[in-house]
Amino acid sequence: MSAQLYLRSRCDVLLGHGDLNLVGSGEYCKDYDFSISKSGQLIKLKLPEDGKTIIAETVINNINPDIIQILRASDYDSLNKTEQGKLREITKPIVDSMRELVGLIKQEHTRFDISDSLIGNVRTEWSLGAGKWYSTPYSITIEGGALPGLGNMDDKMAQHLQELLSKNEQPLVAINYLHQAINSNSTRYQWIYATISAELAIKEILIRIEPKLEVILSTLPSPPLERLYGDVLESLSGVKPQTSDLNRLKWGAIRRNKLIHSIENEPPSFEEANEYNHFINDQIKWLLYQYRHRK
């Protein structure tokens, strides 16, 4: 007879600064609840008031008995590759859901202190509903000063994140490069990473609007950055940034190329790099807004 399987998982949010968290402090500190559907599983997520962990829970109906035997294994390495694959298939959605939530917080809340690895120290447990919980077999792996404007969770942001989770919107890979730029101690690399972020962001958005562009944008030489944000985006969505922004994107890419190809080229000042990072951040936020509100 098939069984009902309960899964719960907890992870640490990998923050770059020890005293910071995602919720804040004081009398308004509270838990935040979210939900997402992945691989046929309805997964409930909780961001506890500690602001440094994520908890996820799900129930899987009609689970096959062989899965229970795999879960009962005392050691991950004792499982063969087929069994390890079945275990990953069961546990991956709940872990991915936690990573997706933290990724969206990083993207939407501009949390520059969240590591690119997003989550660590993942602990997943299973139960058949009798009140007893057991650890799933696992392999030992490592998921490999405070900045102004770090936002903490509030009801408005929580509602916004839930809407994105309900739509299964994935965080942009580009955000990781922007955060590398902001966290870098070198203004040269800040500029380089920020420009890479701008390039990836427009490609990711264009592919989301028109999936057929993926082969072209991922395999062929790309048009200049200002063309992607300008003519190409306008042809697909009917919008484009102001001319001054397009010119700044063009100039930013030219300077990036000089910084890459000539180590003797004068790096930007801290003020220049900081302003450029914020400009790229604004362009990515603008892209996301246009993508979400396109007709």
Average pLDDT over residues 5-12: 95
Q: Are residues 127 and 11 in the same domain?
A: yes
How large is the C-alpha radius of gyration of the chain? 22
Report the domain count for the chain.
2
Average pLDDT over residues 26-31: 80
Q: Are residues 100 and 20 in the same domain?
A: yes
Q: Are residues 85 and 130 in the same domain?
A: yes
Average pLDDT over residues 248-275: 90
Q: Are residues 41 and 103 in the same domain?
A: yes
Task: Give the model confidence (pLDDT) of 63-72 as tens digits.
Answer: 888 888 898 8
pLDDT number for residue 142: 31
Q: Are residues 189 and 154 in the same domain?
A: no
Instruction: Say whether pLDDT at 180 is over 80.
Output: yes
Instruction: Say whether pLDDT at 246 is over 90.
Output: yes
Q: Are residues 156 and 95 in the same domain?
A: yes
Q: Are residues 112 and 73 in the same domain?
A: yes
Q: At 207, is the pLDDT very low, low, confident or very high (cuts 50, 70, 90)?
A: very high
Q: Are residues 147 and 12 in the same domain?
A: yes
Give the residue from 122, 147, 166 where a domain finishes. Answer: 166
Q: Are residues 162 and 220 in the same domain?
A: no
Across 2-6, 29-33, 260-264, the highest mean pLDDT is recorded for: 29-33
Q: At 1, is the pLDDT very low, low, confident or very high (cuts 50, 70, 90)?
A: very low
Q: Are residues 91 and 234 in the same domain?
A: no
Q: At 199, is the pLDDT very low, low, confident or very high (cuts 50, 70, 90)?
A: very high
In which domain, by residue range, is 66 found?
Answer: 3-166
pLDDT number for residue 238: 92
188, 206, 190, 195: which is closest to 280 by C-alpha? 195
Task: Give the model confidence (pLDDT) of 133-150 as tens digits.
Answer: 999 887 544 333 233 345
Q: Are residues 204 and 129 in the same domain?
A: no
Average pLDDT over residues 115-132: 88
Q: Are residues 96 and 202 in the same domain?
A: no
Give the residue from 111, 135, 166 where a domain finishes. Answer: 166
Instruction: Say whether pLDDT at 285 is over 90.
Output: yes
Instruction: Say whether pLDDT at 264 is over 80.
Output: no
Give the residue from 166, 198, 232 where a domain finishes. Answer: 166
